[in-house]
A and B are shown apart, each in its own frame.
With several copies, the nearest count.
Chain A
């Protein structure tokens, strides 16, 4: 029996440890991941266990962290690098989008980039600027990258193992507000990097989301059921490429779609999912799909984050709109809504 109860952060730590254990080509690198075990203690104990050559405290330079990982991948390693917080991934942007994402394409498949970039992401932790962002849409727009996240300890464990085992580069967005959420983890369960999971089946509205918002969506499903409304909650899991098939199949049944994430709306994963579902399942749609996302502002100071983030009530409000029920926007001049 390989099941135990773990917090989501600890499940990722376990996955990293198990990967280091089972494949000597796996190495970890990042700022403060060694002796400190990372600012979230996700890598706690791994340097003591695997040594300084496999769990590497790096100088403070994100472009170099990713760029040297490319070199290691050239020599057959599978580097797992940590970007300490979402907001610090931008200095590494060039190495990620112009190198990591493209070397396999550039070399016509001759050079593989089995690199996992770990990015603790998302808000709701009361932190300072640059510590609560959701930059995943940038990477979803980047061909050549797989972008994934996880909503539970089990998903986190299994998806991290799959990410490290993948020969494609993977951006793994770790929902930091859920690091302390506990759940059972069976280390034998495997996951792919392609498919979404239908968490609750329901006939009325499809709610597609991922990462930290999955919990909120599930709560919304319970709240909605009190009013006799059934939500089909889909945990997308793969942010890019998206599993449009699963969402479209659901929308074919429900005719209604709400997409939720913390990232801003404009040119986002939510925009993409709506555009894709509209392309695929237009005749089935009974109402305009709705987005519940961060607003198109920078992530605000933490005292304001409650209003910025997709909340249970905002999701229910969007559900109401798709159902043509009274919502907060009733009275505003929107032409959308059910038909």
Chain B
């Protein structure tokens, strides 16, 4: 045929041929003309912080996973393997940048200090939301795939109306890119040139579906069709992610409009604790990605630059253990809410209809208790 299929173009998107990387799997540094300038201040202390952050995030994930197996949590969607993507991006934001995640971005809640009580309540079935979004600038978890990308875009429209330079960040997965909402979000973001970052964690699976079911071309190509530039980065390289997010943040803050980041990573665990990934993927694929572990990689790098990794590991361990204790305390002391609270907050003021239903419920509950 006389017209060519789209060819990846460096002008449209960076990292299409190979995801942008600065840390190799062995911990050595790779030069990147694009990313390096944004990493100049990343000294040993900064790297140590990222290492500890990732370690804590992983530990929380492991603890929650274990609590699910023990029946303390009803469900858990693990982030194992995605620590660099989440921590690297989250740490490039300032506190007043508002993040809109899905259900797997636990790192956002952890790093922004939302506390475990509420945060884990969602997975205990006690609540739908774990924290005050306004207090932490983190939206409540979103389960409807892609819906939050529109919220982030609208939020970013609003920051512009305010004349503020806050940025909104939408986190979503590879599967989400197929939803109409995500594409409409790019239409609006591009049309209004709003300060939003579309942060796609391509962890290679939407439940059982490999990313090729969603797209035959790299996901980072998608936004270019909307006039939105994209950065495709090694999602297991915390520095690459960090630098890419800084670039996008700078663009957004200075009126440059939206940026799309595809962080190429891998979901090491099951989709959730009820999933059985052996039904749809091979062990050797998982093993290959284990080699690319984001935390090990940064640790090797710290080693290479002569940092005292034994001490850093030790400190991380202490912090992780403390966090784990805090987490388990929160879960162990959590109590299921009184059923009558199900009538709260449907509206900002009680309505006659719900007051009646609440009264019915209470009378019924009392009558049952009376019988017993």
Contact = CB atoms under 8 A, between A and B. Distances in A.
Nearest to A125: B74
B210 to A, nearest CB: 9
Interface residues of B, number: 84
Nearest to B170: A71
Contacts of A245: 352
B347 A64 contact: no
A331 B155 contact: no
Contact of B367 (A131, A168, A328): A328
Contacts of A106: 128-129, 140
A75 B342 contact: no
A265 to B, nearest CB: 8
Interface string B277-315: 001100000000000000000000000000000000000
A314 B365 CA distance: 10
Contacts of B153: 64, 67-68, 71
A64 B126 contact: no
A282 interface: no
Main secondary structure of the interface of A (DSSP, over half): loop
B261 interface: no
Interface in A29-60: 31-32, 34-37, 39, 53-54, 57-60
B238 interface: no
A131 B128 CA distance: 12
A79 B158 CA distance: 10
A258 to B, nearest CB: 14
The size bracket of the interface on A is 35 or more
Nearest to B342: A300
Main secondary structure of the interface of B (DSSP, over half): helix
B193 to A, nearest CB: 13
B64 to A, nearest CB: 14
B150 A71 contact: yes
B176 A60 contact: yes
Interface in A284-299: 295-298
B308 to A, nearest CB: 42
B7 interface: no
Given A71-B152, A306-B339, A105 B98 contact: no
B143 A328 contact: no
A108 B353 contact: no
Given A107-B129, A332-B360, A144 B346 contact: yes
A127 B367 contact: no
A61 B353 contact: no
Given A71-B154, A94-B181, A244-B352, 7 more contacts: A53-B160, A59-B191, A110-B134, A126-B74, A166-B348, A167-B348, A297-B343
